[in-house]
Amino acid sequence: MNFLIPGGAGYIGIHIAFLLLDSGHDVVIIDNFSNSSSESIDDLENLMGRKITFYQSNISDETELNRIFTKHSFDAVIHLAALKSVSESILKPNEYFKNNCNGTSCLLSVMRSFGVKNLIYSSSATVYGIPRYLPIDEKHPLSSNNPYAETKLKIEEELRSISEAEDGWKIVCLRYFNPVGAHESGLIGENPRGIPNNLMPHIVNVANGELPHINIYGNDYDTIDGTGVRDYVHIMDLSESHLLALNYIGLKVINHEDIELSSIAKAGFHIFNIGTGKGCSVLELIRTFEEVNNVKIPYKFASRRPGDVASCYADVHRSAQAFKWIATKGVEEMCSSAWNFKIRS
Ligand SMILES: NC(=O)c1ccc[n+]([C@@H]2O[C@H](COP(=O)([O-])OP(=O)(O)OC[C@H]3O[C@@H](n4cnc5c(N)ncnc54)[C@H](O)[C@@H]3O)[C@@H](O)[C@H]2O)c1
- The pTM of the full predicted model, rounded to 2 decimals, is 0.97
Q: What is the pLDDT of residues 129-156, one digit of tens each?
A: 999 999 999 999 999 989 999 999 999 9
pLDDT at residue 61 tops 70: yes
CA of 294 to the centre of ligand 1 (A): 31
pLDDT tens sequence across 104-137:
999 999 999 999 999 999 999 999 999 999 999 9
Closest alpha carbon to 59 in 91, 25, 15, 106:
106
C-alpha to C-alpha distance for 177 and 183, rounded to whole angstroms: 18
Reported as a pLDDT band with limits 50, 70 and 90, residue 246 is very high
Domain at 74, CATH number: 3.40.50.720
Span 323-332, mean pLDDT? 96
Examine the domain organization and report whether 131 and 256 are in the same domain. Answer: yes
Do 301 and 214 share a structural domain?
yes
User: What is the reported pLDDT for 257?
Assistant: 65
Is 193 a domain residue?
A: no
What is the domain range of residue 205? 199-228+277-344
What are the pocket residues of ligand 1 if the criterion is a CB atom closer than 6 Å to any ligand atom?
6-7, 9-13, 30-36, 58-60, 80-84, 99, 103, 122, 124, 176, 178-179, 192, 198
pLDDT (average), residues 314-329: 96
Residues 268-291 pLDDT 10s: 999 999 999 999 999 999 999 999
User: Which residues, at least 6 apart from 16, have a Cβ–Cβ distance to it below 8 Å?
Assistant: 5, 8, 78, 80, 239, 242, 243
How far, in Å, is the centroid of ligand 1 from the Cα of 128?
19
CA distances from 308 to 70, 85, 142, 303 (A): 45, 14, 16, 11
Reply yes or no on whether 313 is catalytic: no
Residues near 217 by beta carbon (within 8 Å), at least 6 away in sequence:
228, 302, 303, 304, 305, 308
Same domain, 155 and 18: yes
Average pLDDT over residues 4-31: 98
C-beta separation of 63 from 106 below 8 A? no
Indicate left, alpha or beta for 35 from its phi (over 0: left) and psi (-120 to 50: alpha): alpha
State the amino acid at position 16 in one-letter form.
Answer: I
Same structural domain, 203 and 269: no
pLDDT at residue number 261 = 53
For residue 168, count other CB atoms closer than 10 A to its CB.
11
Residues 99 and 144 both lie in one domain: yes
Rounded to the nearest integer, the mean pLDDT of the chain is: 95
Helix 62-71 to helix 103-113 angle (10° resolution) is 40
Give the residue, by CA position, lying nearest to ligand 1 atom 21.
Answer: 10
